[in-house]
Amino acid sequence: MRLLRLLKIASVGIRYGLDQMILEHEPSGRLAWLVRAVFFWRDLSAPRAVRLRLALEALGPIFVKFGQMLSTRRDLLPADIADELAKLQDQVPPFPSALAIAELERVYGKKVSEVFADFDVEPVASASVAQVHFATLPDGREVAVKILRPNIRNVIAHDIALIDTAAGLVEALWADGKRLKPREVVAEFEKHLADELDLMREAASCSQLRRNFLHSPLLAVPEVYWDWCASSVMVMQRMHGTPVSQVDNLRAQGVDIPALARAGVEIFFTQVFRDGFFHADMHPGNIFVTASGQYIALDFGIMGTLTDADKNYLAQNFIAFFQRDYKRVAQAHIEAGWAPADTRVDEFEAAVRAVCEPVFDKPLKDISFGKVLLRLFQTSRRFNIEVQPQLVMLQKTLLNIEGLGRQLDPELDLWKTAKPYLESWMHEQIGWRGFVRNLKYEATTWAAILPQLPRLAHQALSHGQSKNLGDDIARLLVEQRRQTRLLVLACASLGGLLGTALIVLLA
């Protein structure tokens, strides 16, 4: 089976001339010439990026998904290939409804008619990993049922192994192979796919995003119905709305389109800087809009998370960029630990200035956050800076949001819309509010440690019993927390006994 699949991949690669993309970098050039002579019948007039996209589409949904992921790695790929791969669409024919019903009955251990009051056998959406059917619960609630494709785990494992083999060949034969780290990219892709294959994980992400925006007038997120969820089935509230790409329909419904564009930017920056948890697949197919102008988020298989350090890095870069403080941009990279400590700030500053200064010849509304961030990533490569995966995902999402916002309102000024959220977040982090919040957060820890620091220091310095004072403090803190839990448990038990005795006496 694997041999047949490998032969198919080889034949598709030869048909679209993918061998030339690799062999053209072979130092002698003889091997590329030989292959061209053997396969002289091929039409390779189309650009290389187009041929690569067509080859991935011919190989099937997992390869299409891999191409989509590659399109986000603009820090690694040439611009022409990244732009072309971004055109890949995850359009997959649905699998037979009988298989969907069989999976539901396997999960629930009963007939579908006993689980749902009504189940629409025709899927409403189909992708490479799962498809969606509408249904009605016994209490009348309308739901969307997401079901994994049959045997999809085996298919993915099989294709991933082949992609990894191809990545190894690229690494061995292409001059830039080692720098591009193709096998690491494949491993990252495998991890994302593994996350998408666990629908309980997706349901948890959906639930978290819903909680973050529960009372927001800007974004609606479906409720998850946990009693009907499993690793291969996700049941959530059915949402009613119009695809965001149907601008004329939205306008006919009375939706304020410029306000909708601004709301999209606000939602994105709220997710990033308030929550550090964002929807990382915000293409138009995953966004609906209600008649009142509220966004609806769908498909939570790919989510991004950011630490406080990530958020601080981003906020400082955005604000410094628009203040033309290129030295601050360079310092932010070094302080975040992503640039080597011995990086010369003045050299990095000059490189950042070369990226950013041309942008300011344009009106602010014409400046692309995503493209500036991308060029910073590409410049960073010269200084041996590792681009963090979470920021690559963020950059991809930001490009999606920007494209969507300007599709809705070409006059949208992203900086004017985003600046209040960035400044507010910075004040929360480094102002007096941030100081008070951090003080409260750390108070319980320091209350346990501070009284005992003199004794620990005396022991460490006088008796040499510990080579690492920090280890002693950490062990002390763990022991103190354990004793606190035991004390709470003892108090609860004592309270229960006293309550029982009181009831007996009163009886």
Sequence-ordered strand ranges (E) for 163-276: 219-220, 233-237, 242-243
Strand 287-289 with 130-136, pairing: unpaired
Helix/strand/coil percent split, the chain, to 5 = 65, 10, 30
**Alpha-carbon Rg for the chain in angstroms:** 28
At residue 426, the 3 state secondary structure works out as helix
Residue linked to tokens 């080579």: 467
Q: In what order do the strands lie in the sheet with 242-243?
A: 219-220, 295-297, 287-289, 242-243
In the chain, count H helices and then E strands: 23, 11
487 near 460, Cβ under 8 Å?
A: no
Q: Which one-letter amino acid corresponds to residue 294?
A: Q
The token pair that represents 53 in the structure block:
């996209």
**Quick check: 159 and 166 in contact, CB under 8 A?**
no
CA distances to 336, 419, 420, 424, 504 from 270, in Å: 22, 12, 11, 11, 55
In the three-class reduction of DSSP (H, G, I as helix; E, B as strand; rest coil), residue 279 is classed as strand
- Cβ partners under 8 Å of residue 53, min gap 6: 67, 84, 85, 87, 88
Which residues are catalytic, by number? 281
